[in-house]
Every structure is written in C-alpha cells, then in structure tokens.
C-alpha cells in the first residue's frame, strides 16, 4: 500500500502519474462488442475507495458485483461511454478533466472487450445514488482492502488451463473480469507496478 492514503490532490497526482507511466494494451474487437467500465476513486471521510455496484435482479448477470459501465453507443469512445454509464447508474457527473487514464482491455467469455477507465471524484461515495433500474446498491472498496495480502485468489478449474481470479470484498469475493480489473487497478494505479491481467480466467457463471 502506498504511504499516500488521504483522498487529496497528492493522492490524485500519485495515481495519475502511475497511469501515465503505464503502457496499456488494447485488444482488437473483432466480432465482439466494445464496452467500458469506470473505476471511480471516491472516498469515505477522506479514506480513498473505489465505488463498486451490485447489479439489480432484472439485469444480465443479476446481483453480481460490477463497476458502472456497459456497451459503447455509436460514436462513443471508451471514456465517453464510461462517463455516461457512471451518470446513468450512480448519478455521478465526472468531467473529462477528472478522467485519470485507462487500464488494459479485457476480453470476456460473454463476447465483450472491456476498457477500464479510471476517474476521480471529490464526492464521498455515500453521496452517490443508485439507479434502481440498474443498480441494487453501491459499496466502497477501500484502498486498504484492495491491498490485502490474501488477494487475489487464484483457483484452478477443469474447463481451462488458466486460473480463475477473484478479490476478497467485505465478506464476499469479486470474480474476473471485474475482479481482474480491480486487481490491475491496485497493482498499476496504487502500487505503480506494470501487472497484466488479461490472461486470467473467469468463473463458469460468467461464460454466458
């Protein structure tokens, strides 16, 4: 864990500098769908967190942990799509100047190439309001919890020669692809380590 822990301009500069030094990798879309998610650095009483959502029951992959995001509309970039989805799902407006950078693309078993967009907000995560049509509730993933020694968890499955990745989250776990992107956020953005995650597997329930 970095020694910079307070949610302030020094932390923002630290995170942005790590992203600027990172050479991200893109994945060709091919016959898949382009999508984007937003890893939003918020805070709780000054302690930095990433805002994570739980999908509502009527959405695809219902009641799974996720980051605000979705498919790109025609003419959108990954950044504009991620910012739009952030507004639609948790009612947070993030100007372009608060987008800090991008992480590696991640190709999902369900046919998407997801671009993770990292953004900053000065708002406490408790000020965010979930859209009940899309989000059941919002939870904070504290930087301190992201940096737990027992995360990530890697598990073997018979259906793949690659390990399934997950991150401990409160009393639950967040699996790849979301878990993989959170792990890369920890490694690259917080710790400044050029760690790749596109090779990690997703659990069987995410293959559809």
For the stretch 134-180, pLDDT in tens is 999 999 999 999 999 999 999 999 999 999 999 999 999 999 999 99
CB 202 within 8 Å of CB 106: no
Domain membership of residue 2 (yes or no) is no
Domain extent at residue 90 = 9-206
Rounded Cα–Cα distance for residues 70 and 82 (Å): 7
Domain membership of residue 54 (yes or no) is yes
Whether residue 193 is predicted with pLDDT greater than 60 in this model: the reply is yes
At which residue do the structure tokens 């967009």 appear? 117
Q: In this predicted model, which residue has the larger pLDDT, 12 or 208? A: 12
Distance of CA 28 to the CA centre of its chain: 20
Domain membership of residue 4 (yes or no) is no
Q: pLDDT at position 183, please?
A: 98
**What is the sign, positive or negative, of the torsion defined by CA atoms of 174, 65, 90, 33?**
positive
Burial of 98 (0-12, 13-18, 19+ CB in 10 A): middle
Q: Which of 207, 206, 180, 208 is nearest to 195 (CA)?
A: 180
The four Cα atoms 157, 159, 160, 161 give a dihedral, to 10 degrees, of 70
pLDDT band at 2 (very low <50, low <70, confident <90, very high): very low
Q: pLDDT at position 205, please?
A: 86
For residue 85, give every residue at least 6 positions away whose Cβ sits within 8 Å of its Cβ, in sequence order, or none.
Answer: 36, 37, 38, 68, 69, 70
Domain membership of residue 20 (yes or no) is yes
pLDDT band at 187 (very low <50, low <70, confident <90, very high): very high
Domain membership of residue 145 (yes or no) is yes
Q: Which of 84, 95, 106 is nearest to 38 (CA)?
A: 84
CATH number of the domain enclosing 128: 3.90.79.10
At which residue do the structure tokens 């029951």 appear? 57
pLDDT, tens digit (0-9, with 9 covering 90-100), for 73-120: 999 999 999 999 999 999 999 999 999 999 999 999 999 999 999 999
Whether residue 3 is predicted with pLDDT greater than 60 in this model: the reply is no
Domain membership of residue 89 (yes or no) is yes
Domain membership of residue 3 (yes or no) is no
Overall number of domains in the chain: 1
User: In 139-149, which positions are buried (b, 16+ CB within 10 angstroms) versus exposed (e)?
Assistant: ebbbbebbeee
Q: Which of 115, 123, 126, 144 is nearest to 39 (CA)?
A: 115
Q: Which of 36, 59, 12 is nearest to 189 (CA)?
A: 12
Q: Quick one: which H or E segment has residue 168?
A: strand 164-169
CB 124 within 8 Å of CB 42: yes
Q: pLDDT at position 208, please?
A: 73
pLDDT, tens digit (0-9, with 9 covering 90-100), for 12-61: 999 999 999 999 999 999 999 999 999 999 999 999 999 999 998 655 55
Domain membership of residue 1 (yes or no) is no
């Amino acid at each position: 864990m970095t020694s910079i822990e307070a949610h302030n301009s020094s932390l923002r500069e630290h995170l942005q500098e790590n992203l600027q030094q990172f050479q991200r990798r893109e994945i060709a879309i091919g016959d898949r769908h382009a999508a984007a998610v937003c890893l939003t650095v918020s805070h709780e009483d000054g302690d930095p967190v990433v805002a994570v959502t739980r999908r509502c029951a009527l959405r695809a992959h219902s009641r799974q942990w996720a980051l605000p995001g979705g498919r790109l509309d025609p003419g959108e970039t990954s950044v504009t799509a991620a910012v739009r989805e952030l507004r639609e799902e948790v009612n947070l407006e993030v100007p372009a100047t608060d987008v800090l950078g991008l992480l590696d693309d991640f190709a999902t078993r369900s046919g998407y190439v997801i671009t993770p967009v990292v953004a900053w907000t000065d708002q406490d995560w408790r000020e965010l309001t979930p859209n009940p049509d899309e989000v059941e509730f919002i939870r904070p993933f504290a930087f301190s919890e992201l940096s737990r020694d027992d995360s990530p968890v890697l598990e073997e499955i018979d259906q793949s020669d690659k390990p399934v990745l997950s991150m401990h989250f409160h009393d639950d776990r967040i699996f790849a692809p979301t878990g993989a992107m959170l792990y890369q956020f920890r490694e690259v953005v917080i710790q400044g380590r050029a760690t790749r995650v596109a090779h990690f597997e997703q659990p069987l329930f995410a293959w559809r």
